[in-house]
Amino acid sequence: MSTSKNIILGVTGSIAAHKAADLCSQLTKQNYSVRVVLTADAQKFITPLPFKTLSRAPVVTDLYDETHGWQPAHIQLADEADLLLIAPATAHFIARLALGLANDALSCIALALNPRAAVLVAPAMNGKMWLHPATQHNVAVLRQRGVEFIGPEKGMLSCGYEGIGRLWPVDRIAARAVALLTPPGRTPGRRRR
């Protein structure tokens, strides 16, 4: 019987979606139970197969994906989650999260998330989109609700511009996720098995 913490890794439609596979791998190697949820836009950049292989678990790609039991997959995952990690998070998804819109599996999980679960969001987008007042307003709203943001960082963006908007380094996202799941007084990385 596993005593592993449950991480839901939400992947949205950014060119940085391919980096989420490495994030999934790093967290799984540290003995976390990782369940991946891909939005329809994320699937334009990466398929479910790498995540299924790396997490050793089914990947949720649709709100109506079947589960083995009677409970809808998005409700079961929301109930069991210890951490909802959205990486990469687009401006569009951040806006939906701030407004409480729930029209796909990932947004429904976010809205139904059990109150003890932490939420960590790693944005990735064009710098002008990140700095736009609407996005900054949505980020402020989510921070007031207890959502933690990590990044974005500055650098060359896939759109050809240089500036803020790059996904935070995957190893640092993984380290922050582990820290959020580590009880006070314990050292991250030293997990009981």
Residues belonging to the active site: 159
Q: Cα–Cα distance between 154 and 167 in angstroms, integer?
A: 9
DSSP string, 8-71: EEEE-SSGGGGHHHHHHHHHHHTT-EEEEEE-TTGGGT--HHHHHHHHTS--B-STT---SSSS
Q: Cα–Cα distance between 162 and 121 in angstroms, integer?
A: 22
Q: Cα–Cα distance between 33 and 39 in angstroms, integer?
A: 20
Contact between residue 10 and residue 86 where contact means Cβ atoms under 8 Å apart: yes
